[in-house]
Amino acid sequence: MRKALAVVVFTAIALTGCKAKEMMEKASIEKDLKNRGTVDLMKEVADDKYTPPADGRLTDGQVQMYLKVRDHEKQIAQVARVEAQKHAEAAKKEGEHSISGMMEGFKTMSAATQMLTADIRAAKDLHYNTQEYLWVKSQILTASVSAMTEQSTKAMNATVEASYQQMKKSYDEAKDEQTKKMYAEMLANMEKSRQEMAAQQQGTEPAAVYNRQLLSKYENALNALTNEMAKYEDKPGEAQKGMEKYQQDLAKATEEAKKNQ
C-alpha cells in the first residue's frame, strides 16, 4: 500500500514539474515575441551566410539540428497562434473598421508573421546558422516529398500493371483482327505510359535519395512534410491523421491492384 502511494506521489510530482516547466517555457516565449519582433529577428539573422555542399547531401549533424529546431519551432508557433487568435477575436469584437479594431488587426498580422517565422526564431534561439538551417530544411522537405511521390508512384504502377495485364489477356483472347488491332493500340499507349512513369522514377535526384535514407535513420521520412502541414492545422493531429489515411489508401489501392494482375 505504501509503495503504491509513493508511486502515485512521485508521479504527481513529476507531472507537476513538467507542467511548471512547460508554463515557464511558454512565458519565456511570450516575452521574447513581445520584446523581439519579426523585424528585429530579421536584423539579427541578416549577416548569416552559408554555402551548401555541391552534392546537396546532408550530414547526421544537420538532420539532428533540424529536429531540434523543429521541436522548439512548435513551441513558438503554438504561442504565436494563440496570440493571433486572441487579437483576431478582439478585432472582431471591437469592430474591424474602428481604430481599436484596426490596431488589433495589425497585432493579428504581426502574430501570424511570428508564427510563419517561428523556425528561423527557433534556429536563432538555439544558436544555429539560420541560412544553413533553411537550406537543411529545404533538403529535408524535398526528401520527404520524394518519399511521398515514391509511394504514390508505386500504387500507380501497380494499378497500371493490373490494367495492362487485363488488357493483354483481352488481346490474347480476341477472335477477330479488328478487335485485336483495337487492343493492340490500347496496349501500345499503356506501354508508353509505363515507360514514362519508369523514367520519372529514375529521374529522382541522387541527393534526395541519399537524404531520404539518412532521414529514415531518425524518423519516418514523411514526418517532415506532415509536421510542416501541421503548423497550419486548426485541430492538433489533423495533419498526422490525414497523412496516415493517405498512406492507408495507397496501400489498399496497391494491394487491390496486385490481386487483379
- The pLDDT tens digits for 37-58 are 888 899 989 999 999 999 999 9
Angle at the Cα of 250 from the Cα atoms of 207 and 70, rounded to 5 degrees: 50
Is residue 50 assigned to a domain? no
pLDDT value, residue 253:
72
Residues 141 and 245 in one domain: yes
Q: How many domains does the chain have?
A: 2
| Pair (121, 165) in one structural domain | no
Domain end marker among 128, 160, 180: 128
Please indicate, yes or no, whether the overall pTM of this predicted structure exceeds 0.75.
Answer: no
Q: Are 175 and 112 in the same domain? A: no
Does residue 205 sit in helix, strand or coil?
coil
Which of these three, 128, 150, 182, is where a domain ends?
A: 128
Cα(199)–Cα(146) distance, integer angstroms: 15
Say if 241 falls within a structural domain.
yes
Same domain, 102 and 172: no
- Interatomic CA distance for residues 246 and 240, integer angstroms: 10
Answer yes or no: is 40 within a domain. no
Q: Do the beta carbons of residue 4 and residue 54 sit within 8 Å?
A: no
Query: Do 174 and 93 belong together in one domain?
Result: no
Angle between helices 118-125 and 130-173 (to 10 degrees): 130
pLDDT of the residue at 126: 95
pLDDT for the residue 194: 74
Domain stops at, among 128, 155, 181: 128
Residue 53: strand, helix, or coil: coil
Q: What value does the mean pLDDT take over residues 113-120? A: 88
| Among 37-51, 156-170, 231-245, the least confident range | 231-245
